[in-house]
Amino acid sequence: METQTNEIARAFLEMQKEFPFSGYVNNNLNKYMHIVSRIMKECSLPRSKILSIGSGPCDLEAILSKLGCKITAIDDLNDHWHLIGKNRERIKDFAKRMNIELISQSAGSPQLKENYFDVVLLIDIIEHLHRSPRELLNYSI
């Protein structure tokens, strides 16, 4: 357990050094520890293929990538703050540096391989939906 905690903390610090938005991930280590630990209980992280729907700036996804996962992230990057200045480009550049395949479209758009992913994440996404989440949940299966 201590080894796992140390690995997550190391990956968090590595991500934080390169993250393009200062202050965004500060004081969130416990959140990341909780989420990543839960994922680790369900699958072996090195080599796991993870789909993250609604990834935003790819902070969690970068941690998982640093832990050896193959990450595909989907986000339309249309949140208000994504549209300010060059924030979209900064997110895309960060994802690329972190070995994250970032698909900049809405979740239902991309054609993905069926039964390819070991884990599908919908973290902090449901509250952004204006209609029933049924379509998104069916898409993510």
Q: What is the pLDDT of residues 29-48, one digit of tens each?
A: 999 999 999 998 888 777 89
pLDDT surpasses 60 at 140: no
Spatial contact of 11 and 44, defined as CB atoms under 8 Å apart: no
For residues 65-85, average pLDDT: 93
**What is the CATH superfamily name and number for domain 2-140?**
Vaccinia Virus protein VP39 (3.40.50.150)
The pLDDT value recorded for residue 81 is: 92
Cα–Cα dist 49/64, whole Å? 10
- Entry pTM: 0.88
CA dihedral 19, 94, 1, 124 (to 10 degrees): 90
Measured between alpha carbons, how far is 71 from 133 in angstroms, rounded to an integer? 23
Q: Indicate the Cα dihedral angle 113, 32, 89, 114, nearest 10°.
A: 0
- The closest alpha carbon to 59, from 91, 88, 93, belongs to 91
pLDDT of residue 60: 96
Computed over every residue of the chain, the mean pLDDT equals: 86
Residue with tokens 């991309």: 110
Instruction: Specify the pLDDT at position 17.
Output: 94
Q: pLDDT confidence of 106, banded at 50, 70, 90?
A: confident
- Which one-letter amino acid corresponds to residue 41? K
- Residue 55 confidence class, pLDDT cut points 50, 70, 90: very high
Q: How far is CA 27 from the centre of its chain?
A: 18
The residue ranking higher by pLDDT, 19 or 138, is: 19
Residue 16 confidence class, pLDDT cut points 50, 70, 90: very high
Q: Give the whole-angstrom CA distance, residue 17 versus residue 34.
A: 21
**Confidence (pLDDT) at 109:** 64
List the chain domain ranges: 2-140
